[in-house]
Amino acid sequence: MAFYGILRHLLISFFLFGIFLDSPAFLIIFPFATFQTIMELFNSADSIQDKVLALNALGNAGIDTCVGELEQIIKDRSEARVVRYKAIDALRRLRTQMPAKIQQILLPIYQNTREHPEIRAYAFARILSTLPAQQVIDQLAYTIRQEKNRQVQAFAYRAMKTLANSRNPVEQQM
């Protein structure tokens, strides 16, 4: 219970300082301290639930300094599938700040046919959410054509088709 108390306190504190103190120093130092604490909690967690909760907190915070650590978790095949999925999901709030970095991390995951199919499919969805450039879309389309796994192929094809037919003005810009 102390674990959850600390995480909730960190989340509240992060938002509190972000609102009341928009000095650049606080916005840089305090989130970094918060990220280090959350990563310590993640590394010391011994159950999937604790790890997922820590990654939830990281995802909500959207701190750009945590991208390196999240990349290690995503590429660590010894981690549980749900933990790796939550690590990919934790990049969601950075999709507008560093789309190229997210594509750089997730594109090899998606194109690796030896990777778990569900992880690959979700990496594909996260890449699409960054509104990638034409070159990245061409790589994705080429991989769909060569795809051997039917589930990944189905998800990727339908996601691309939905995006192509979308009436959302933001998605139509792609």
CB of 166 to other proteins, least distance (A): 6
**CB of 15 or CB of 32, closer to other proteins:** 15
- Least distance between other proteins and beta carbon 85 (Å): 6
Token pair in block for residue 30: 């305090």
What's the chain's Rg over C-alpha atoms?
Answer: 18
Tokens describing residue 110 = 């998606």
Shortest Å distance, C-beta 7 to other proteins: 11
Task: Provide the 8-state DSSP code for 79.
Answer: S
Helix orientation angle between 81-89 and 67-75, rounded to the nearest 10 degrees: 150
What's the rounded Cα separation, in Å, for the pair 157 and 145?
Answer: 9
Task: CB nearer to other proteins: give 82 or 98.
Answer: 82
Nearer to other proteins, 64 or 79 (CB): 79
Q: How far is the CB of 147 from other proteins (least distance, A)?
A: 10
118-124-128 Cα angle (round to 5): 150
State whether residue 20 is helix, strand or coil: helix
Nearest approach, Cβ of residue 104 and other proteins (Å)? 21
Nearer to other proteins, 107 or 119 (CB): 119
Footprint on this chain of other proteins (rule: CB under 8 A):
5, 8, 11-12, 15-16, 19-20, 46-49, 52-53, 56, 59-60, 78-83, 85-86, 92-93, 114, 116-118, 121-122, 125, 129, 150-155, 157-159, 162, 165-170
The alpha carbon of 150 is separated from its chain's Cα centroid by a whole number of angstroms, namely 24
Contact (CB, 8 A) for 3 and 50: yes
